[in-house]
Amino acid sequence: MRTMKDYIITICNGTTCLNNGVRLLHDILEAQLEKAGLTDRVKINISGCLGMCNKGPILIVYPGYTIYGNVQKEDVAEIIEEHVLKNRPVARLAIQEDHLFNRFFRIFGDTQFFGKQLRIALRNCGIIDPENIDDYIALRGYEALAKVLTEMSSQEVIDEIKKSGLRGRGGGGFPAGTKWQFTANQPGDCKYVICNADEGDPGAFMDRSAIEGDPHTILEGMAIGGYAIGAKKGIIYIRAEYPLAVQRLRKAIEDARAHNLLGDNILGSDFCFDIEIRLGAGAFVCGEETALIRSIEGHRGTPRPRPPYPSVSGLFGKPTLINNVETWANVPVIILDGGNWFSTVGTENSKGTKVFALAGKVRNTGLIEVPMGTTLREIIYGVGGGLPDNKELKAIQTGGPSGGCLPAEYLDTPIDYESLAKAGSIMGSGGMIVIDEDSCMVDIAKFFLEFTQDESCGKCTPCREGTKRMFEILTRITEGKGQAGDIEKLERLGNMTKKASLCGLGQSAPNPVLSTIRNFRHEYEEHIHQKKCRAGVCTALLVYTILDKCVGCGACKRVCPVDAITGDKKTMHRIDPDKCIRCGMCMTKCKFEAITRA
Amino acid sequence: MTPLEKIKKKRAESVNRILSKGYLSTTRVYVGMATCEIAAGSGDVMQVFREAIDKGEIKDVYLSQKGCAGRCNLEPTVEVVAAGKNPIKYGKVTAQRAREIITRHIQNGEVITDWIID
C-alpha cells in the first residue's frame, strides 16, 4: 500500500540544469530530508527539461506549484525549514513564469510519467474541456492571434517562426518558417492554409488526441498562418474515421465564429479568415501533401511530382501553406512565448518538442511529448517505465510504415531529425513501437509491407509493384518457403522502390524491410536456410515435439483440434507434423512441460 | 479597441463564466473523454459523477470533461483537484470505482492510494 506524501518536489533534470549542478542539489536535498526525518512526508520527483533554462536550477514544490529558480545548495535548508516544515513558500527564491505549457505541470508535474515530458503542442490536452471555448480563452487562448493582429506585421510573424527553428512535424522536418516565407512571397491574393490531419500510420494517434483534447489551438495556429501568408481561407483535412475529433472541430469552429475569432474582421481588425473541414475517406496516401490537395479538389487522391511545390501551386493552383496538426499547435506558443524561448528547447538543429505515440512492449503505453534530444533510452525506460516481465529489448520501431527498426545498440540515440536518419530510421509523424524478444523481425517487416502494398495508390509502377513483390517474398519467407537469394532480391527491390517512386509513400515503404535486413539479417537467414523462427511467431516454421518425459496423461490429445496427437494412455504420445496446425494448444495444456517448440 | 484589448476583455468574460459554473468549488473533478477514454468506459464514469451531483449526493463539486492526457494503459482517468492539496489522479476508473471515489474520497476525504497514478 502506498502512502500519500504531503509535499512533492519536482527537480528539473534538463541538460542546462544538469550542467548547473542540479545533481548535487538533489543529493543535498535528499540528505537533508533524511536528516530531518522527512522522507515519509516528501517525495522527490525528477523531471525532464521544464523550459525555464535561463533560470535553472529549477525546483517545483507541490501542492501549490511554487517554482523556485536559481536554487543554490545553501538555499535547500531554507526551502525545507520554511516551506516544508512551516508551509511558508520562500518568496526570495520563488519565480513567476507564465509560459503556456506551465498549466499542464500544475496538475501533472508531480508524477514521474508526466514529469519527464515537456508539453508544448499538447499543453492543454487533458486539462481543459475541449468543447468549451471559455476554457481555452481563459488559458490565454487566441491571445497569440490577437497579438499578431495588434502589433505584428506578416513578415514579423514569419520571422518569429523562423527564429523558433520549428520544423514540420508531419515527418518531413522541413523548416516551417522557410515554407511560410515561400508561400508569403508568392503573388496573388487568393491563397490557402491547410491543416493535414490525415493521420494514417498504424498505431499512431497523436493528431487525434491533439484535436480531441484542444481543437482551438489548431484553429488559432492556422489563423496566424493565414495572416502571415495573406490567406483568407483555411481547410482542415481529417479522416472520417475520427468522428469525435471532427465533431469537436466543428463545434470549435462554430464557437470561434460566434466569438468573432474566425470569419470577417476578426476581433475588429481588417483580417478575415475562415476554416472549413474536409473529410477524407481514410486513404494513407492522402497524408502526402499533393495527394491530399487532389482529394480536397474532389479528385481521386493521387500524388503528383514536385516541383511545383504547394507553396507555389497548391490547392486549385493557388499558393498553399500546408502543415501538420502538431506543427500548427506549436504556433500560438511561439508567438506568445517567443521564437527565442522556443529555440532554447531541443537540440542544435531540431528545436522544440515532439509528440510520440508510445506503444508495443512497454509498461506505460501512451501519448508523450518530450524535448528533442531526449534519448530513446530515456523515453523507453524513463517515461515508458521499461519493458514488462523483464523482457529483453530487441528493437525500437520509429516512424510507422515509413520508418525503420533500430536495435538495442541505438538506445542512446538522441531523438532529432538528423540523428534518427543517421541511425537508419526516421522521425516520421511520431509512432514509436517497442519490440521485445518475443517478436519476429521478418514478421514485423511483413506487417508494415502488408499495409503499404495495400495503401499504395497505384499511380507509379515502382511503388505499386515493388511493395507487392516485397510483401510476397516476405510472406514466402515466413511460411518457410524462403529461397537462397531472397534477401538480396529484397534489398534490390527495396532500393529501387525507394529511388524510383513518385511520392513519400513509395520512397519510404521499403524502410521497414531494409532496416530489419540491415540490423537483423541473421533472423532472415535463419528463416530461409534453417526454416527457423527464433521468436516463435511464424507458425509455419514451428515444430512441436513431445519429449520422453511424457507420462501419457492424454491432456494434449484431448485438446488438439485436428487430432494430430496419438498414443495410448500411460505411454508416450506423439504429434503428426503433417496434421499439426501449430496452434500450440497442446503445449499450454501439458502439465509436465513435455512438449517443446522449436 | 485593439484586438489585444478585445481578447483580454473576452478572457475576463470567459473566466467569469467558468467561475459562475462553480469553478471555485471545494473539489474539481475531471473525467477523460477522448475517443480512447470513452472506449475504455469513461462515459459510464462521467454519468456516475453527473448523477451524484444531480441527486445532491455530492455538493460543491465542479465537474468537467477533458481530453486525453496520454495514459493509455490506465484509462479511463479521473482527476480530483482540491485547493491546497496535491491533485489526485486516478487510473482505470470504472463506474464502480467512481462510486467509491465519491463516497470515500469526495465525501470522506480519503485518498484511495491503490488506484492513484504516480
Asked if B65 reaches chain A (Cβ–Cβ under 8 Å), the answer is yes
Residue A538 makes CB contacts below 8 A (sequence gap 6+) with A440, A442, A443, A478, A479, A480, A527
Q: How are beta strands B88-90 and B78-82 bridged, if at all?
A: antiparallel
Comparing CB atoms, the residue among B7, B30, B38 nearest residue A142 is B7
Write the single-letter amino acid at A522.
H
In-domain check, residue B10: no
- Asked if A504 and A288 count as a contact pair (C-beta separation under 8 A), the reply is yes
- Chosen from A105, A147, A209 to mutate, greatest number of chain B CBs within 10 A: A209
pLDDT digits (tens, 9 = 90+) for B34-61: 999 999 999 999 999 999 999 999 999 9
List, in sequence order, every residue forming a beta bridge with A569; answer none if it has no partner: none
3-class DSSP state of B82: strand
CB contact (8 A) between residue A3 and residue B71: no
CB contact (8 A) between residue B7 and residue A137: yes
Chain B neighbors of A140, CB-CB under 8 A: 11
In-domain check, residue B11: no
Block residue for cell numbers 518538442: A353
Residue of B nearest to A267 (CA): B3
Q: What is the CATH number of the domain that holds B73?
A: 3.40.30.10
In-domain check, residue B12: no
CB contact (8 A) between residue A137 and residue B2: no
Q: How far is B98 from chain A (nearest CA, A)?
A: 18
Distance, CA of A110 to CA of A129 (rounded, Å):
21
Query: ipTM higher than 0.90?
Result: yes
Residue of A nearest to B8 (CA): A143
Distance, CA of A212 to CA of A489 (rounded, Å):
44
Distance, CA of A526 to CA of A280 (rounded, Å):
42
Q: How are beta strands A366-371 and B27-32 bridged, if at all?
A: unpaired
Distance, CA of B102 to CA of B49 (rounded, Å):
8
- Chosen from B7, B23, B92 to mutate, greatest number of chain A CBs within 10 A: B7
Chain A neighbors of B37, CB-CB under 8 A: none
pLDDT digits (tens, 9 = 90+) for A94-104: 988 777 777 77
pLDDT digits (tens, 9 = 90+) for B62-88: 999 999 888 888 999 999 998 778 889
Q: How many CB pairs under 8 A join A and B?
A: 150
In-domain check, residue B31: yes
Which of A:44-63 have CB within 8 Å of B? 62-63
- Asked if A484 and A528 count as a contact pair (C-beta separation under 8 A), the reply is yes
Asked if A366 reaches chain B (Cβ–Cβ under 8 Å), the answer is yes
Write the single-letter amino acid at A232.
K
Q: How far is A261 from chain B (nearest CA, A)?
A: 9
Distance, CA of A367 to CA of A404 (rounded, Å):
20
- Asked if A254 and A276 count as a contact pair (C-beta separation under 8 A), the reply is no
**Residue A37, exposed/middle/buried by CB under 10 A (0-12, 13-18, 19+)?**
exposed
Distance, CA of A376 to CA of A378 (rounded, Å):
5
Distance, CA of B106 to CA of A271 (rounded, Å):
48
Segments in chain A below pLDDT 70: 1-3, 113-115
**Residue A406, φ and ψ in degrees, nearest 5:** -105, 130
DSSP H or E run through A558: helix A555-559
Sequence-distant contacts of A262-265: CB under 8 A, at least 24 apart:
A262/A219, A262/A223
CB contact (8 A) between residue B68 and residue A125: yes
Chain B neighbors of A124, CB-CB under 8 A: 67
Asked if B79 reaches chain A (Cβ–Cβ under 8 Å), the answer is yes
**Residue A394, exposed/middle/buried by CB under 10 A (0-12, 13-18, 19+)?**
buried
User: Which residue range forms the structural domain that includes residue B74?
Assistant: 24-115
In-domain check, residue B4: no
CB contact (8 A) between residue B73 and residue A365: yes
CB contact (8 A) between residue B73 and residue A364: yes
What DSSP line would sit under A109-155, residue for residue? TTSHHHHT---STTTTTTTS-TT-HHHHHHTTTTHHHHHHHHH--HH
3-class DSSP state of A285: helix
Distance, CA of A386 to CA of A490 (rounded, Å):
33
Q: Which three cell numbers stand for residue A100?
A: 503556456
* pLDDT given for residue A1 in this prediction: 42
Domains in chain B: how many in total?
1
The structural domains of chain A, ordered by start, are 7-115 (3.40.30.10), 133-341 (3.40.50.11540), 353-436 (3.10.20.600), 441-530 (1.20.1440.230), 542-597 (3.30.70.20)
**Residue A108, exposed/middle/buried by CB under 10 A (0-12, 13-18, 19+)?**
buried
Q: How far is B88 from chain A (nearest CA, A)?
A: 9
In-domain check, residue B3: no
Q: Any idea what the Cα angle at residue A281 is, between residues A277 and A285, rounded to 5°?
A: 100
Of A239, A117, A202, give the one whose Cα is nearest residue A403.
A202
Of A199, A266, A269, A282, give the one whose Cα is nearest residue A234.
A266
Instruction: Kindly report whether the peptide bond that precedes residue A512 is cis, defined as omega within 30 degrees of 0.
Output: no
End-to-end CA distance of chain A: give it in Å, rounded. 42
In-domain check, residue B67: yes
Q: How far is CA A587 from the centre of its chain?
A: 38
In-domain check, residue B8: no
pLDDT digits (tens, 9 = 90+) for A569-595: 999 999 998 899 888 899 999 999 999
Q: Which three cell numbers stand for residue A253?
A: 469552429
Asked if B117 reaches chain A (Cβ–Cβ under 8 Å), the answer is yes
Block residue for cell numbers 497569440: A144
Dihedral over Cα of A382, A384, A388, A394: its sign = negative
Q: In what order do the strands lie in the sheet with A42-47?
A: A42-47, A7-12, A59-62, A66-68
